[in-house]
Structures are given as C-alpha cells and as structure tokens.
Amino acid sequence: MPEALTLAEFVRLTGDPERVEALSAVAGNLSGAVLVDCRGAGTNCPPRLNLPHCVIIGIHAEPGLPVPTCIDVIAESDAACAHLLQRIGANPLAAATLVDLLRHEAWSQVDTGLTLESLAYSTLQHGREFERWLSTRPRREIADAIDPVLIERNGDALTITLNQPARRNAFSAAMRDALCESLKLVLLDASIRNLTLCGAGPSFCAGGDLDEFGSQRDAAIAHAGRLSRSAGRLLHQLADRTTCKLQGACIGAGIELPAFAGRIEARADAFFELPEVGMGLIPGAGGTVSIPRRIGRLRTARMALGGERLSADIALKWGLIDAIAR
C-alpha cells in the first residue's frame, strides 16, 4: 500500500508540476492513486487544475467533519482502501478519467455533463484497458430485439416497460432507440401527466448489452449517437412526471437512467451497481450526471471505483432511491 501523505504535504506537492505529473498513470504511477490522511484536515485544498490525473483516496476521515474538496473517494477502513487500490490499479486510466469528470461537477448542467461523459466514454472505448477486457469476451451474433419496449396508456397515465426479460432487459441499442421514441411521445403530449418506467421479469435492467460492447468502432459516430438518442436527457426533461419502479438487478444503465426520474420506487430485492470501471470504461448512460445529483460525488466515486453492490436499504439511506415497496 502506498504511503499516505498528510493534507498539508499533498497541498505542497501540488505546487510542483513535475511531482503532479509523476502521480499520473502514464508517468509510471502504477497504483493509479495517492493516499491522503484526512485527520486534522484544516488546510485549504489546491485548485482543481493543480490536481494530479489519478484517484485521490482519503483515509482516516473524521465523522461529522467536512471531507477536503480535493478528495475523490473515502476509504473507511484498511480493507476498503486495499480493495479500492486493487480495483483502481487494474484500470488506472478509466479510474482517473472518472474522477476527473466528477471533479468538474458537470452534473449541475445536465447537457454539459452528458456531453463530457460521452466524450470521455468514447475515448476509453478505444483505450487499452477496455480493449483488454473486450479481448476476454467471446464474440456473439447480435440478435434482433422484438418489441424491446412496451407502451400502455390508461387515461392520463402511460407505462413504458423494458421488454427483454430473458436477457434481464440488457440495454441494447434497439432498446435505447425504442425507449427514446417512447419518451419523445410523452414529451410532446402534455395530456400524459404520469409516466411509469418499469422492467418485465425479475430484473429491471442488468446494464448495457455486453454483446454490443465494442461493436461500434467509430468513436465519433458513437458519441453522436449517444447525444442524439439520449434516454437520460429525455428522462431529465420528464422528471416531474416520471416514476421508475425497479426490481432485481439495476446495474449500469439500470440505475443511471432511473436516477434522472423524479421518483424511484424499488422492491426490497433490488440491488444497484456501477461496474464500468472494471471494464476499462466509465458509466456511459448518464450516470456521472444523474447519480451525483442524488448521492453526491464521493459516494458516486465509491460505487464506480469499488464496484460496490448496494442493497435497496442502503440505496434508500443514501438517497439513490426514494422508497422501498414493501
């Protein structure tokens, strides 16, 4: 485990551009992280532009005291710190890209945040960490989806159901396109006062369709597609009319998209994960925008960097969801 710096030592370090550069993964920092001891933190943090391109892990944070703004993620124990270091060290470029994005607090402007996330995601899709992950997966034919979403209207209420239960509603391009078309209809029809988004089968959505990962080799087209057909942007525009009802696996896009909604209700069996950093990526369905708006930057980083699985009870405590359906 790397030796921890005091906050004062870290601040002094950030005043030296050579030492800041030396902490980046491309300069040989194989851990992809620096540890900062938060005990007795009273020193002003360095400006964001002076922070190194790596993950800043805070240790020994004191309960009830503000976390220094330069910290990217808190490790609450030695075991948690070791776990974070292992995960970050496996994909240091993806991890650094994630925290760089979160530091800019772009979620305060949804359009800006979605654009920055998509640019970063496209970059990582052509990076060595994702290519390494992709090389371990067998190539499969991408099957045509039949009715990837279902729509049912009852008076002023509309229900949209993700409809690939045999695949745990994996969020494919076909499902994204069908969902966006459905959401556009709601956006244009003010007589629809209540929108419910749910998923057929035991899981709401187990994340992006892994069989499609890496299938779009043109990064510019992939970026344009994410911005042109953004279910997250549409759900944000419809937030005050939208309730998401979740169950089972809510992984990646399966929580990134619902987090844009005005209300999330989850069954007790629901669980939540952001696994993308483990693939050499970052959340790409809007999660770096929607999730910090609900649980803050530090907890978003904890979920994404640690690959942590949250139960419905913890998600409710954190504010990731609004209610548990008993």
* Averaged pLDDT of the chain: 91
Asked if residue 67 is part of any domain, the answer here is: yes
Ranges 40-54, 191-205, 230-244, 293-307: which has the least confidence: 40-54
Total structural domains in the chain?
Answer: 2
Phi–psi pair at 150, nearest 5 degrees: -115, 145
Q: Summarize the confidence of residues 216-222 as an average pLDDT.
A: 76
Asked if residue 233 is part of any domain, the answer here is: yes
The pTM assigned to this predicted structure is 0.93
CA–CA gap between residue 193 and residue 156 (Å, rounded): 5
pLDDT of residue 102: 96
Q: What CATH number corresponds to the domain at position 228?
A: 3.90.226.10
- Please state whether beta strands 55-59 and 33-37 pair in parallel, antiparallel, or not at all (unpaired): parallel
Q: Do the beta carbons of residue 163 and residue 179 sit within 8 Å?
A: no
Report which of 315, 303, 311 is spatially closest to residue 248, judged by C-alpha positions.
311
Asked if residue 105 is part of any domain, the answer here is: no
What domain range includes position 58? 5-90
Identify whether residues 133 and 34 lie together within a single domain.
no
pLDDT interval class at 43 (50, 70, 90): low
- Please state whether beta strands 194-199 and 249-251 pair in parallel, antiparallel, or not at all (unpaired): unpaired
List strand residue ranges (DSSP E) for the chain, in order: 5-6, 33-37, 55-59, 73-75, 149-154, 157-162, 194-199, 242-246, 249-251, 263-267, 271-273, 310-311, 323-325
Identify whether residues 76 and 128 lie together within a single domain.
no
- 207 in helix, strand or coil? coil
pLDDT at 217 over 90: no
Last residue of a domain, one of 68, 90, 112: 90
